[in-house]
Chains A and B, each alone.
Chain A
Amino acid sequence: VSDRKLNGIGWSREAIARNIANDLPDGAVVNLGIGMPEKVVECIPEGREVLFHTENGLLGMGPSFGRHDPELINAGKNPVTAVPGAAYFHHADSFAMVRGGHIDICVLGAMQVSQTGDLANWSMGEQDAAPAVGGAMDLVAGVRTIFVAMTHCSRAGEHKLLRACTLPLTGRGVVSRIYTDLATIVVGQHGFEVLKLAPGVCRTYLQERTGAELIFSHEHQEGARRG
């Protein structure tokens, strides 16, 4: 991360959230998971109406605007607000919305994603550390379109976009798109299709940091330096 910061390469966490928000269609109902996805609620472009669902019982979640009501929080336990027209409900209702196919898009964090869209985001596979699954398995089972927000590599520089996940899976073949600090990638029929490269990132740089072959034929030309 630090060498990238020095070189001014890649997107910030805010920029990743903006990339996701820009791709959410008007009128969509979108669930936001823990971590990077939480920021998406702050980034919806002017004039677009997106209804945010949070698993802990609120449809119509808005940004906190610096307010802090301990009984009005999101899935990450951080303060949020309720937009005019919002609704509260209990947990079984909330997950009926999820599993019943009533949510259009879900944005989740990830530890690993495979080129066939397998997602691993709940367990590091360690013996003595308790895993924590939360709502991720219900979400990938019930929401048609899953977006992932993640750093492209681990802090130690290990690949997280892989041919096959090595960590325990959350779901198989569930991820549609991946938004990282280095690129936006679609999980297509033939694998990782690069849609957009982050500022300062060339094809070679991205391929070196990815554990599966990248397909560049779908890439947008804007702002990308070729390599």
Chain B
Amino acid sequence: VINKLCANAAEAVADIFDGALLLIGGFGAAGSPVELIHALIDQGAKGLTIVGNNTGSGHVGLASLIKHGRVARMICSFPRTANSTGFQDKYANGEIELELVPQGTLAERICAGGAGIAAFYTPAGAGTSLAHGKEVRRFDDRECVLEHGLTADFALIKCLRCDRYGNLIYNKTARNFAPIMATAARTTIVQTQSYVSAGEFDPEVIVTPGLYVDRIVTIPEPLQESTLVAAGAVYP
């Protein structure tokens, strides 16, 4: 019998090890798996490499994970938010490494990793300083940069609805990186607002097929990162 359900977020993230590479979903606060990240903070793993679009906001979620010194390296496209200096402070002090990647390249690298594609050529970033040290090749008189696929040890993502097989449906622009991240991690952990039995979803509307999902945690009323930040919340 297929059973991916975990009792709680702590159980779901228990085996994340020091130095692990994690994909964390979200674009700004939308789609950020706050409960899973907080469980990871409690769990204590350090020396992590995090792949995500941003570096969190306020004093909760990813921003807090960074502030508490658990992250050694960020692979992201936009490490800047109006209400958080967590990453910027660490970066200025040389306490965190940054691999800056154009957003579309970041998405395609995750997509490629999940699909077993080792690398690809993209025109994005060609001729800029972000292409330094990378292989460049011309196709149809267009300069393109070789970018490598990204795979990870774990993915932490959030969805709206999930069935017993791990088929996922998302909410609006909270979808963002989650469907591709689910494909590119050895262990994909999802927090879902509702959990239903297999067969409840119309197969035509499933966004992430269940084989990509390894662990499911039900969080019926998830914290919204933007609400927490607006309220000045601090975790832990």
Q: Chain A: residues with CB nearer than 8 A to chain B?
A: 54-58, 69-73, 77, 82, 88-92, 94-95, 98-99, 123, 128-138, 141-142, 168-172
Instruction: Please name the residue on chain B nearest to A135 by beta carbon.
Output: B103
Is the CB–CB distance between A72 and B172 below 8 Å?
yes
Which residue of chain A is the closest to B183 with respect to CB atoms?
A: A92
Are A132 and B79 in contact, with the CB atoms below 8 A?
Answer: yes
In-complex Cβ contact of B128 among A82, A89, A92, A170 (8 A) = A170
Distance in Å: Cβ of B221 to nearest Cβ of chain A: 13
Given known A92-B111, A128-B91, A133-B78, contact A56–B102 (CB-CB < 8 A)? no
- Given contacts A134-B78, A135-B103, A137-B102, 20 further A-B pairs with CB under 8 A are A56-B27, A58-B172, A70-B30, A70-B227, A73-B28, A73-B29, A77-B29, A88-B170, A99-B104, A123-B129, A130-B91, A131-B100, A133-B77, A133-B78, A133-B100, A133-B102, A137-B125, A141-B124, A169-B127, A169-B128
CA distance A128 to B125 in the complex (A): 22
State the total of A-B contacts with C-beta under 8 angstroms: 145
- Check A136–B102 contact: CB distance below 8 A: yes
Interface size grouping (class) on chain B: 35 or more
User: Does B41 have its Cβ within 8 Å of any Cβ on chain A?
Assistant: no
B92 nearest CB neighbor, chain A only: A128
Name B residues whose Cβ lies closer than 8 Å to a Cβ of A.
27-31, 53, 77-81, 87-88, 91-92, 98, 100-108, 110-111, 122-130, 170-180, 207, 224-227
B77:A134 contact, CB within 8 angstroms: yes
A19 to B8, CA, bound (A): 52
Interface SS of A by simple majority: loop
Whole-angstrom distance between the alpha carbons of A71 and B176 in the complex? Answer: 10
| 24 intermolecular pairs with C-beta atoms under 8 Å apart | A55-B103, A56-B176, A69-B172, A70-B29, A70-B225, A73-B27, A73-B29, A77-B27, A77-B81, A82-B172, A88-B172, A89-B175, A90-B178, A90-B180, A131-B100, A132-B79, A132-B100, A133-B101, A133-B103, A138-B102, A138-B104, A141-B122, A141-B124, A169-B129
Q: Are A92 and B108 in contact (CB under 8 A)?
A: yes
The answer on a CB contact under 8 Å between B174 and A132 is no
